Structure 1
């Protein structure tokens, strides 16, 4: 099985990549930092020396780079069974206090990149009559967070895009799942003195996605909501 994951060197993306490597899946991975990609490659090969890997330095806010990554992935693997749109931008600010370019920056990474990859890869899945797309949304897709205005707007847009993907591909046997995590212990929380026990862990998201992948052909999880047991941090 061939899996494409964006934003794979940190947080949830890295946890998902490690989980999939441990279960012997082939991986196409991208991130902006080449050194971090090289480090991740070593970790993955240590887990599974025989894994088929494609790692491409990609800025998911740049349309041409996302398109090139998709094209390289298709050329290498010929087919993609699972697409995981994980890369995301989070720059907290009230809308009235941020520069106008912040909405565009959030949109390019959080919405346009998944849109491009969907248009590249979904037709291949439809032709095969199977496949699964996971879009890493956020509780910000559902809740209003005033101090993360553009992030909320674009994550809500991603959830809407996710729902359109599901309805478009449903007749062709393709599954689409919105993953909606609450406060998750990623680099966004570096420097925080909040206990790790108060967060969802990236590994929780990774294991949940893998479990959903094991469901029968006729079952789809429309939304996976994972929140901290004690409430949002």
Structure 2
């Protein structure tokens, strides 16, 4: 049985991806800062598949020590990790000139560092096993800059660049790396805003794409998948 690790798995895309992998029969290691959210999603996941093991760890993935503790506990309880979904992130709609003093550090630590640190932790293990798949959740902002979210755009562009490097380093070992590039997706980032759900990408759409890519033959890798609203960006 394969084991998947997902950061930020209690909400939005991470949550949808967790449910999709649970239905596929993968064991899961998931983290969140909120212990109650973790307990709730664990119960929900086990209700749809009682055969899988689920490891939950309360952790702030933007903090290296907590992130690596999560990775270590996942390995200790599940064994080899085969799938990594770097999902956790923060959207902050401010121009760079209006950023607070700590905005750069906060967004880099939340949006880029977890993927970097987990790659450093698991990369050589995946290479040695010659097996694995890393999904990096990027953003359309990595391709089309969003001026009203300047620093967020920079961090997502950096995540896409990191993902490209991962793929080149891993391809000789047969380890797959996919950049997932969502457009306007109905997640908690939009809380408090008046939006039309029928004109947005849903988290379940992203999960469907991830699962379709995961289920491809051993010799196929999807470098990037871009999913955007049919009516254009919100």
- For residue 165 of structure 1, report the CA deviation from its aligned partner: 0.4
- Is the aligned partner of 1:123 residue 2:124? yes
Q: In 1, distance between residues paired with 2:142 and 2:226?
A: 11
- For residue 71 of structure 1, report the CA deviation from its aligned partner: 1.0
Q: In 2, distance between residues paired with 1:215 and 1:100?
A: 44
Q: What's the counterpart of residue 54 of structure 2?
A: 53
1:124-139 equivalences in 2 (<5 Å): 124-139=125-140
Residues 64-89 of structure 1 deviation map (CA, whole Å, 9 limit, x = unaligned) = 00111111111122211110000001
Coordinate RMSD, CA, aligned: 0.9
TM-score normalized by structure 1? 0.98
Q: In 2, distance between residues paired with 1:41 and 1:168?
A: 34
Q: In 2, distance between residues paired with 1:130 and 1:158?
A: 22
Q: In 1, distance between residues paired with 2:19 and 2:41?
A: 9
Q: What's the counterpart of residue 187 of structure 1?
A: 188
Q: In 2, distance between residues paired with 1:91 and 1:132?
A: 29
Q: What's the counterpart of residue 41 of structure 1?
A: 42
Residues 153-192 of structure 1 deviation map (CA, whole Å, 9 limit, x = unaligned) = 1000000100000011110110100000000001111233
Q: What's the counterpart of residue 109 of structure 2?
A: 108
Q: In 2, distance between residues paired with 1:70 and 1:179?
A: 22
Q: What's the counterpart of residue 26 of structure 1?
A: 27
- For residue 100 of structure 1, report the CA deviation from its aligned partner: 2.4
Q: In 2, distance between residues paired with 1:193 and 1:69?
A: 36
Residues 7-60 of structure 1 deviation map (CA, whole Å, 9 limit, x = unaligned) = 000000000011111121100001111110011011101111221010001101
Structure 1 runs (4+) greater than 4 angstroms displaced: none
Structure 1 segments unaligned to the other structure (5+ residues): none
SS in 2 for 1:148: helix
Query: How many pairs are equivalent?
Result: 233
Q: In 2, distance between residues paired with 1:206 and 1:101?
A: 32
Q: What's the counterpart of residue 100 of structure 2?
A: 99
SS in 1 for 2:5: strand
Structure 2 segments unaligned to the other structure (5+ residues): none
Segment drifting more, 3-12 vs 99-108? 99-108
Residues 125-180 of structure 1 deviation map (CA, whole Å, 9 limit, x = unaligned) = 11111110000000011111111011001000000100000011110110100000
Q: What's the counterpart of residue 177 of structure 2?
A: 176
Segment drifting more, 130-139 vs 91-100? 91-100
- For residue 98 of structure 1, report the CA deviation from its aligned partner: 1.1
Q: In 2, distance between residues paired with 1:204 and 1:102?
A: 30
Q: What's the counterpart of residue 70 of structure 1?
A: 71
